[in-house]
Amino acid sequence: MRNLPLSTLRTFEAAARHGSFAEAAKRLALTDSAVSHQLRRLEDALGFRLFERHGRGVVLTPAGERFHRVVSDSLAAIRDAADHIGDEDDGGGRLVLACPPMFGSKWLARRFLAFQDAHPRVECEIRLMENDAIAPDAGVDVCVRFGPGGWADRWSMLLDRAELGPVCSPRLISALGRPLATEADLEGCVLLHWDDGAEWRRWLADGGVHAFAEHQRHLYCNDLSVLIDLATHGAGVALASEALSAAPLGDGVLLRPFRRTVPAIGGWYVFCAPTALERPAVRAFLRWIGTEFGVAVDEIDGRGAPPGEVRSS
């Protein structure tokens, strides 16, 4: 094994991942014959076959599958180590952030310039994903999502326990020709829902109104970001948290006709794998977003959560 040609491992990993010597050659800027030669050298050094021909491509032998798992994990660990060491040297690095579209458009997009200006050496990528699919895997460093918290084997920090209250456009109030002074005034309005109506039922019941069926006009949309846009353009009255509606409220294109709110079932969390806390770019983002939400972030490192924050066990 002292004669194992280490330079061939990257070629092997690419051929195994794509199931094709030709595709591996294309990805690595090699000739097809160079790939074949390298893999024969590797098989000769190992003493077992790695591939079998399958149509126009190749498939791994059982021994090749076991070897590929080890090689793939090892190369990924080497890449991560190189990235982390490089990050430590210049205080920068690459940051991949996943969040739902509603958070990306209604909160993050309006504030992210401040993070970029404060951390010009951090190269960022924002991936918009369905809320329930977000996890710090597959190349994602940090996640923001709405949920109950307590994700296993994840470091997490509560950003906001959302309180839901009605929002609508001044245009809608003008069209009604009267203010929305009581819950009964909503009976002539279109209620906007991103769920099956459960949140509006909770809000109305909290105010003593239990006859949800009396509200005959409803509009359903499964994207909360679009729902807030609908409210902004006068299509109806939506329930929204401060985090997602602060900007249009501040711009005056939305208003809150009622002060009463009900707590949402869950909250906004930022979370990541504990090992990600070793990276300066990740720590910088966590400090920044915590500060933006008014969360006291005194220290973030790879050994645990800052004082007062929520961490899964």
Confidence band (pLDDT; 50, 70, 90) for 311? very low
* pLDDT recorded at residue 10: 92
Position 138 in a domain = yes
- 19 and 70 co-located in one domain: yes
Q: Domains in the chain: how many in total?
A: 3
Position 305 in a domain = no
Q: What are phi and psi of 56, to 5 degrees?
A: -90, -5
Position 137 in a domain = yes
- 122 and 205 co-located in one domain: no
- 151 and 287 co-located in one domain: yes
Cα–Cα dist 101/70, whole Å: 36
Cα–Cα dist 281/184, whole Å: 50
Cα–Cα dist 222/139, whole Å: 27
Position 78 in a domain = yes
- 61 and 203 co-located in one domain: no
Average pLDDT over residues 108-115: 94
Q: What is the 3-state secondary structure (H, E, C) of 145-212?
A: EEECCCCCCCEEEEEECCEEEEEECHHHHHHHCCCCCCHHHHHHCCEEECCCCHHHHHHHHHCCCCCH
Q: Indicate the residue among 60, 86, 112 that finishes a domain.
A: 86
Instruction: CATH number of the domain at 106, please.
Output: 3.40.190.10
- Residue 41, pLDDT above cutoff 50: yes
13 in Cβ contact with 21 (< 8 Å):
no
Cα–Cα dist 167/228, whole Å: 8
Does 305 or 80 have the greater pLDDT score?
80
* pLDDT recorded at residue 209: 81
Confidence band (pLDDT; 50, 70, 90) for 11? very high
103 contact partners, CB below 8 Å, separation of at least 6: 144, 145, 146, 244, 268
- 136 and 171 co-located in one domain: no
Quote the domain boundaries for residue 148.
Answer: 91-161+266-292
- 145 and 282 co-located in one domain: yes
* pLDDT recorded at residue 188: 80
Position 309 in a domain = no
- 102 and 123 co-located in one domain: yes
54 beta partners: 57
Position 186 in a domain = yes
DSSP H stretches of helix in 239-279: 242-251
Of all residues in the chain, the percent with pLDDT exceeding 70 is: 88
- 205 and 157 co-located in one domain: no
Q: Indicate the residue among 36, 64, 86 that finishes a domain.
A: 86
- 255 and 286 co-located in one domain: no
Confidence band (pLDDT; 50, 70, 90) for 275? confident
Instruction: CATH number of the domain at 79, please.
Output: 1.10.10.10
Cα–Cα dist 290/107, whole Å: 13
287 in Cβ contact with 297 (< 8 Å):
yes
- 150 and 273 co-located in one domain: yes
Average pLDDT over residues 126-155: 87
* pLDDT recorded at residue 38: 94
- 79 and 102 co-located in one domain: no
- 156 and 192 co-located in one domain: no
Position 312 in a domain = no
Position 301 in a domain = no
191 in Cβ contact with 182 (< 8 Å):
no
